[in-house]
Amino acid sequence: AQKQFSRKSTSLTYVHYSHMLSDFAFGTNETTAHKMPSVEFNSVSREALREAKEWTTNMLKPSDIMTIKNNHVIYLGQDDHAYLLSLQTMLNVRIEEFFRKGKGGISITGNPSNVSCAAIEVESMLCKAQEDFTQAEERDILYSVVRWSCKDVPWIQTPEISAVLEKAYLAGNKNHKFKTHKVNLMTKNLNMQRLKDKPKRLYQRVSAQFCDLICRVGFQKEFAPPAEQRYGSGIYFSSTVEGAMELWKDQEHEQYIYIIQAQVLTGKSTIGSPHLILPPSLHGDPLDRYDSLSDMMQTHVIFNGQQALPEYLIIYTRSSENFSPDYVLCPVLPHSVCRNRLWFCMVVYLH
């Protein structure tokens, strides 16, 4: 039998949701009396296939310590922590959570085979945590623009129920994808009026597993924390691709480099510092604050995901050790719905 499930799971049967949203790689384990256990990967996307194979290889590589970096560790619940404790006992490993300098994750130490088993379980838990977070964000975004109500049933006016009703309504409307795009543009136009500023074309480097989530709910600081948060605890961008490569220089474990080009409203900006969790106030008024922080050169930090609209996903191949800005563009058709965001994708090859 062939199974399909999310990118991080507890079986050798494997599914990897790629940056192309509808593309994924899946594997099936084939074992007979006359064959060694094996995993076969299939995908319509070359990028998804390579990432799936690399992720599986890393998970199964013998090691007495493994570190999984994912800021969604802060969204693990009481039941999740109880399960982590049971994993420690069951597999005789040591599991430690960490959160330092805006970056979180889980470290696992012990016997190599047990470490691999525990790591796959932890990846599955984190995958569920980030999906739950994304669904909650989707409901809140939808609830801010569409609210269903019923005179005789007032209790249905909640983000969860309203989201279900709206999606059911849109399912019968062939033109709903144009409506959602107009909502995004309307939100952007309202923010432009509020900030009284033209958007800047900025770049963010992300991990493969977060491309789909950014398309669904926009930019979040949990998705792409930089190597160092020198200018505040927010959502980072760079005005150049080279700058984005430098900000996220710790993402060297993936087969491809993923850069998102976005329109970002920076508004009134001031120089940032590591201790800031919000922009400082203007003229001492706590209700009137700067809109963003920066290094006054090419790094920009915002604290509200609605100030940024993703436009393009750019994929670089690792064809040389040195990063070069020279590239060839291969446009890909826009995704049909892209879950409430309109993206265009292009593959970029380095020379």
Each of the 351 residues of the chain gets a pLDDT tens digit; together they read 333 333 333 333 333 333 333 344 445 455 555 677 778 888 877 888 888 888 888 898 999 999 999 999 989 989 999 999 999 999 999 999 998 888 899 999 999 999 999 999 999 999 999 999 888 888 777 766 666 666 666 666 666 666 666 666 666 654 433 333 444 555 555 565 555 678 899 999 998 888 888 888 889 988 999 988 999 999 999 999 999 998 998 777 778 889 999 999 999 999 999 999 999 998 878 888 999 999 999 999 999 988 999 988 888 876 554 444 333 333 333 332 233 332 333 433 333
- Write down the domain spans for the chain: 14-130, 185-350
Contact partners, residue 117, CB within 8 Å, separation at least 6: 91
CA distances from 306 to 176, 187, 233, 309, 339 (A): 21, 8, 16, 7, 16
Partner residues linked to 98 by β-bridges: 105
Position 163 scores a pLDDT of 66
One of 2.30.29, 3.30.450, 3.40.198, 3.30.1370 is the CATH number of 14-130, namely 3.30.1370
Position 249 scores a pLDDT of 83
How many Cα atoms are found within 13 Å in the side-chain-facing hemisphere of 326?
4
Position 38 scores a pLDDT of 78
Position 282 scores a pLDDT of 87
Position 6 scores a pLDDT of 35
d(CA 19, CA 212): 6
d(CA 116, CA 121): 9
One of 3.40.50.2000, 3.10.450.350, 3.90.228.10, 3.20.20.70 is the CATH number of 185-350, namely 3.90.228.10
Position 88 scores a pLDDT of 93
